[in-house]
Amino acid sequence: MSFRIASWNINSVRARIGIVERLLREQAPDVLCLQETKCEDALFPHASFAAMGYPHVYPAGQRMHHGVAIVSKVALTPNNRFDWQDNGEARHVGVRLPNGVLLENVYVPAGGDIPDRTVNPKFGQKLDFLGRMTRWSEGLREPSIVLGDFNIAPLPEDVWDHKALLDVVSHTPVEVETLAALQSSHGWADLGRLFVPPPARLYTWWSYRAADWAASNRGRRLDHVWCSPEVRGSARAVTTLVAARGWEKPSDHVPLIADFDF
């Protein structure tokens, strides 16, 4: 058996329902985890997903900003909605898969522009979010997958220019250290890098502000799929669907697709 889980920061699920349908048609994941849905739950386009064979929707949205959702071919068990931001923002939804594995869909805050919590509270919130995730992770006792937009590119090979981005939020040493503490708190396996180890470059995001994203290729690996030690042996492949950055009216993130043998 093969179980396919996709993760995608969609930057408005309503504005981009067309390319969501394209992903479902072409990649046929069993489960799709979305971030930045940008709509409250009552406005989530359930009918579009049902028509594509995904009638099971577990949204955690809010008006205008942020928002996550899990959609699925088969029924899942709602499990939790953590507020790791501690301010009510919709940035997490968790379910239990049919095989019992927990799936946690996370949208880590971007953190603003200035990497200093004394002048930019959003940067502190980002680090504190990861701190709360770490305390959750330390107490976790069940096989789990945690994935989504982590808004941090941890490795030098996860950005187009390591030195140029050391002071840029998403690649600063304190963010990388904080993410490493989260990863080591439960022995999380970084599946993206399990299948595409350094020194290969690997990106999941390209800014809208480039004249030609493909030509300049100034990408960052902000999206991640991690699994707990019990699940690692079931992982078969992880794909970053780079071509989706060139689809019509694209998201600035591309889908991550993980295949498991369960």
Binding region for DNA (CB under 7 A) out of 7-15, 20-28, 50-58, 237-245: 7-15
Separation CA 54–CA 249 (nearest Å): 23
What phi-psi label fits residue 84: left (phi over 0), alpha (psi between -120 and 50 degrees) or beta? alpha
Residue in this structure with the two tokens 């937009």, named with its chain if needed: 149
| Catalytic annotation present for 149 | yes
Amino acid identity of 173?
P
For 131-193, list the strands marked E by DSSP: 144-149, 189-190
State which of residues 19, 30, 34, 38 lies at the interface with DNA (CB under 7 A): 38
The answer to whether 253 is a known ligand-binding residue is yes
Using rule CB under 7 A, residue 11 touches DNA: yes
| Catalytic annotation present for 158 | no
The answer to whether 36 is a known ligand-binding residue is yes
Separation CA 226–CA 104 (nearest Å): 10
| Catalytic annotation present for 113 | no
Using rule CB under 7 A, residue 209 touches DNA: yes
DSSP state of 84: T
Q: Which of residues 117-136 bind DNA (CB under 7 A)?
A: 122
> Interface mask (CB under 7 A) for DNA, residues 46-85, using x and -?
-----------------xxxx-------------------
Examine residue 199 and say whether the peptide bond preceding it is cis (omega within 30 degrees of 0): yes
Q: Active-site residue numbers?
A: 107, 149, 253
Q: Which residues bind DNA (CB under 7 A)?
A: 11-12, 14-16, 36, 38-39, 63-66, 109-110, 112, 122, 151, 208-209, 249
